[in-house]
């Protein structure tokens, strides 16, 4: 199994990952790791690196595709993560993945509207997890 990173640069790259991961149908988020570019140095000065140092790695598991998918968002601009909800399963039925106004956007629902991503109120039933970043790459991993 190849674990080589593949970059998303154009719509054909998006179609490729969606085809290979069954449009995220019957998948779930298994693990998320966020690394910011912020740090405190030895002199207690707080600093921030460039946008590329803000990274989000997210691992998906699928009932259909018997391998895990790792996506790495660089230049992370925003993440809206929906955790546990009563009377809901954790599975993703479809996703939104698009190049939009110079960013890459992923959401856990193909009806996601990037022009109004947060019309819902706190703990509303129709909330969506979504990620906005400068770039995205992906790979299949063991597990």
11-20, 48-57, 82-91, 106-115 — which one is most confidently predicted on average?
A: 11-20
Mean pLDDT across 61-89: 86
Residue 4 to residue 19: CA distance in whole angstroms = 18
Poorest-pLDDT segment among 25-39, 84-98, 105-119 = 84-98
Poorest-pLDDT segment among 34-43, 47-56, 132-141 = 47-56
Mean per-residue pLDDT over the chain, rounded: 88
pLDDT at 1 over 50: no
Spell out the domain ranges in the chain: 6-112+125-141
Residue 67 to residue 22: CA distance in whole angstroms = 12
The kind and range of the H/E element at 84 are none
For 46-57, b where at least 16 C-beta lie within 10 A, e where not — what string?
Answer: eeeeeeeebbbe
The pairing of strands 46-48 and 55-62 is unpaired
């Amino acid at each position: 199994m190849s674990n080589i990173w593949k970059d998303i640069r154009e719509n054909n790259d998006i179609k490729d990952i969606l085809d290979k991961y069954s449009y995220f149908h019957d998948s779930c988020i298994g693990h998320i790791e966020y690394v910011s570019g912020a740090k405190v140095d030895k002199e207690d000065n707080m600093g921030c690196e460039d946008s590329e140092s803000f990274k989000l790695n997210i691992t998906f598991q699928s009932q259909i595709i018997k391998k895990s998918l790792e996506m790495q968002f660089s230049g992370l601009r925003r993440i809206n993560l929906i955790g546990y909800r009563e009377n809901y399963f954790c599975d993703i039925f479809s996703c939104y993945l698009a190049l939009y106004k110079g960013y890459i956007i992923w959401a856990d629902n193909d009806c996601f509207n990037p022009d109004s991503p947060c019309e819902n109120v706190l703990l509303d039933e129709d909330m969506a997890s979504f990620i906005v970043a400068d770039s995205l790459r992906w790979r299949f991993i063991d597990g």
